[in-house]
Structure 1
Amino acid sequence: MSDPYSPPAEHRLLGIGLALAAYLMFTGIDSSAKWLGLVGISFVQIVFLRYAIHMVLVATILLPRHGRGMVRSGNLKLQLFRALALLGATLCNFLAVQYLPLTVTGSIAFTVPLLICALSVPLLGEQVGWRRWSAIGVGFLGVLVIVRPGTDAFHPATLLCLAAALSTAFYMLLTRKVSAHDSAATSQFYVGIFATLALLPIVPFFWSLPSSPDGWFAFFAIGIFGFLGHQLITVASSRAPATVIAPFSYFQIFYLATASWIIFNQPPDFWLYVGAPIVIGSGLYIWLRERKLAKPETVVATER
């Protein structure tokens, strides 16, 4: 007998399609950030644009629909810590993409499920068995294959990627907690407003404007991609369970590889083909193991 509360098959397919579209938007965020850096825009301003434009869109589109209830939070302190975690991830990632190919930053971002699993022990009091600890270890071996520390191929910006992944893991764990108090629209609002206000006092010292049409496109697109990506993944989650959507987050590596190759002329190197499947395989194993243990999965993508 089928589960009466399980979404119909066509809803699940729609959810998967919306999730894939969301991951394309998240790839657009990183691509826009890298392009803006290439045309001389400071990464501080890039981060500000990502959140300020996002906040304007949330206020313009969502606020009339949800009313004042959207700005009322059941746990403002938790929203603040969550917003700061995502801001930290964005700062580290946007600086890293100025020095590294999108495929490298994206592959390291796929360690987020491994970090969430590891951090759930001290932060949530969850039990993690030897199988998942082994998967975490293997996943980080895959990262070592990609970044090759101690060789000429290693770049210090890799450490920024790991810091971004750690911040994202904290963000996702805090999202689990805040979802019990606030709606997705409220969480979107506070992510935008906190980051914008935090950067507003310093961004004038870094401010400059693009001098080319492609720079102006990226100037506005970075915030639009952010808003659309978060909206799409929210709707996708209402159409299909996280257990269905989660594995498709790894499809983003194909988006990143395509953007890196076509837009920035940085094709993946041999070691990425070796290391990325190890990282992704470890994440998928943890997802399968947690699904078997009937734990709530977190849909993971390189949300910035």
Structure 2
Amino acid sequence: MSTTIAPIEERRLLGIGLVLCAYFLFTCLDSSAKWLGLVGLPALQIMFARYVIHLGIVSAINLPRQGADLWRTRNLKIEILRSGALIGSTLCNFTAVRYLPLTVTGAITFTTPLIICVLSVFLLREQVGWRRWTAIVVGFVGVLIIVRPGSDTFHPATLLSLAGAVSYGLYALLTRKLAGVDSVATQQFYGAVLPTIALLPFAFVVWQWPDGLLQWLVLIGTGVIGFTSHQFITMAHRFAPASTLAPFAYVQIVFIAIISWLIFQQPPDLWFYLGAPVVILSGFYLWLRERQLAKPLTPVAEEG
């Protein structure tokens, strides 16, 4: 059964609106994972719920239309590697947010364009000039300003957050390699079914029943939010080019700061205000440089 692909339309304001909604939802996803962890639910259980619900939604929407075409892939190896990178990113991030303010994990996530640039040298054999290497170094200096290793406020979970950003950078590169190989629906399916299968035995070992309706709603909401945010990202790129949408990823830092302050009573500190602009400007410079070279980076999106 052939899959109907929606045509590209020139509706940039709609695309920008959708991508802003997606980044707000990504922030809500991390906030939900942090809250569920603080009330005592294990990270593996939260991850399992996030992916099994995502899988249910993807299957319900696409199976009636596509049937077996949904799981037919032209490159199963990359789909598996991509899903593995996604599991690593989610596990590191969902664990790190238990111990760190969202502002810290969010700022570290914005190193993703820098990490993609570094990984592309080793995995894609791309050439990176001195200007981009300088931007990468400056960006990581910004992270050091925020986390201040060696200080009393430094927490080892910072390393987990950085590992999550590296995993997500690998996920983004593998997604790039699947462009034009598998449909978005097929990628969404494998991005949900493989983590569900991998997490199933661990989830039942650590499973704790949510206490009350609110915990159930937030747990179920992780899967709904995860699916919806990725759909918004996909739809946004139908209506506006990636070069238009990429800079709006940095608006997410505003969402992160507001939610961290209002819900978790963890307002940004002085070091965040000093370091976050350094990270963001470094990533923004990389975007401008890649645009000049006509090789745009994969936009940042905090995956959970």
Aligning the two structures, in what range does the TM-score lie when normalised by the shorter sequence?
over 0.9
Question: Which residue in the other structure is 1:291 paired with?
Answer: 291
Distance, in Å, in 2 between the alignment partners of 1:202 and 1:265 is: 32
1:125-144 → structure 2 map (5 Å cutoff): 125-144=125-144
Question: What is the alpha-carbon distance in structure 1 between the residues aligned to residue 269 and residue 32 of structure 2?
Answer: 22
CA contact (8 A) 2:12 2:240 kept: yes
* 1:229-244 mapped onto 2 (5 Å cutoff): 229-244=229-244
- 2:258 alignment partner in structure 1: 258
1:147 aligns with 2:147: yes
Residue 276 of structure 1 aligns to a residue whose secondary structure is helix
Measured after TM superposition, the shift of residue 239 of structure 1 is 1.1
Could you tell me which residue of structure 1 aligns to residue 90 of structure 2? Answer: 90
How many Å separate the matches in 2 of 1:39 and 1:21?
Answer: 27
- Take 2:83 and 2:165, find their aligned partners in 1: how far apart are those partners? 15
Q: SS where residue 218 of structure 1 aligns? A: helix
User: 1:151-170 alignment to 2 at 5 Å?
Assistant: 151-170=151-170
Give 1:209 deviation, angstroms: 1.7
Counterpart for residue 188 of structure 2: 188
- Corresponding residue of 1:247: 247
SS at 1:235's partner residue? Answer: helix
Residue 227 of structure 1 is matched in structure 2 by 227
CA distance in 1, matches of 2:88, 2:26: 17
Equivalent residue number for residue 57 of structure 2 = 57
Q: 8 Å contact 1:35–1:215 — kept in the other structure? A: no
Q: Distance in 2 between matches of 1:172 and 1:67?
A: 27
CA distance in 2, matches of 1:301, 1:6: 21
RMSD of equivalent CA atoms: 1.3
SS at match of 1:181: coil
Q: Which amino acid aligns with 1:31?
A: S
1:62-113: CA deviations, max 9, x gaps?
A: 2223332111111011000000001000000000000001111010000000
> What's the % identity of the aligned pairs?
58
Question: Per-residue deviation at 1:300?
Answer: 1.1
Q: Offset at 1:134? A: 0.1
Distance in structure 2 (CA, Å) of the matches to 1:293 and 1:121: 15
Amino acid in the other structure paired with 1:84: G
Partner of 1:110: 110
Quote the Cα distance in structure 1 between the aligned partners of 2:44 and 2:68.
30
Q: Structure 1 pair 200/6, CA: closer, same or farther in 2 (3 Å)?
A: closer
Output the amino acid matched with 1:267.
Answer: P
Q: Deviations over 1:243-266 (max 9, x none)?
A: 011110111111111111111111
Distance 1:67 1:247 in 2: 37
CA shift for structure 1 position 6: 9.1
Give deviations 1:251-294, integer Å, cap 9, x for gaps. Answer: 11111111111111111111000100000000000000000111
The residue identity in structure 2 corresponding to 1:193 is V
| Runs (5+) with no aligned partner, structure 2 | 1-6
CA deviation vs aligned residue, 1:223-258 (integer Å, no higher than 9, x gap): 110000110000111111110111101111111111
1:36-75 to structure 2, matched below 5 A, reads 36-75=36-75
1:263–1:213 CA distance, 2 compared to 1 (3 A): farther
Q: How does 1:194-205 map to 2 (within 5 A)?
A: 194-205=194-205
Cα offset for 1:7?
5.2
Whole-angstrom distance in 2 between the partners of 1:42 and 1:128: 41
Counterpart CA distance in 1 for 2:66 and 2:294 is: 33
Name the aligned partner's letter for residue 90 of structure 2.
T
Q: After superposition, where does 1:29-40 map in structure 2 within 5 Å?
A: 29-40=29-40
Distance (whole Å) between structure 1 residues aligned to residue 257 and residue 206 of structure 2: 30
Match for 1:93: what amino acid?
A: N
Structure 1: gaps (5+ residues)? none
Separation in 2 of the partners of 1:255 and 1:283? 18
Structure 1 residues 6 and 70: CA distance shift in structure 2, 3 A: closer
Measure the CA separation in 2 of the matches of 1:209 and 1:105: 27
